[in-house]
Amino acid sequence: MANLFRITQLILPWISIVFYPRRSLIRYMPVAILAAMLVGGMCTLAAPYKWWRVEGGLRTKIFNDFSFIMGPFFIGTLWIFYFTFAQFKRYFITNLIFDGFFAFIFSAVLEKLNIFRLVTFKRTYIFFSFLSFSFIIYGFELLLNKRGQILSLKK
């Protein structure tokens, strides 16, 4: 059951990419990659610090992390930027909602499904980690935009 959930979690969000504008995909891909790297770094630190545990050992943990990062998190980042970038208030509220949903509701469901179990990491830590990442990637996209504007002025 858990592996079926992980596979579905990985594949299902990618179906929506069919409807995603190509130019926006190229534009927001770097920020989605950075977001994936930030969450990947957090997942890497989770094992030695015992933040959460995944039944089945290291291989299962890697698949679990990969299916979340490259599934809903990566694609969700692309869609959030598509609909909210350059409107910081909308971006912030959207991230509050999605990060809150993941930290307090979805993670509880995942624990009940035995996908993972929080050990020393609290739901509020998840929420504030993801919210912090949202500020970092927003700033990164602002820098990329500013750099792009400067480069287009030089031509």
Query: Is 137 domain-assigned?
Result: yes
- Residues 66-108: tens digit of each pLDDT: 999 999 999 999 999 999 999 999 999 999 999 999 999 999 9
Domain range spanning residue 55?
A: 2-11+28-154
pLDDT bin (cut points 50, 70, 90) of residue 128 is very high
CB 35 within 8 A of CB 73: yes
Query: Is 63 domain-assigned?
Result: yes
Query: Is 23 domain-assigned?
Result: no
Query: Is 61 domain-assigned?
Result: yes
Rounded to an integer, what distance in angstroms lies between the CA atom of residue 116 and that of residue 109? 10
- Residues 35-46: tens digit of each pLDDT: 999 999 999 999
Domain total of the chain: 1
Compute the Cα dihedral for 106, 80, 26, 42 and give only its sign: negative
Query: Is 19 domain-assigned?
Result: no
- Mean pLDDT is lowest, of 40-54, 63-77, 137-151, for 137-151
Query: Is 7 domain-assigned?
Result: yes
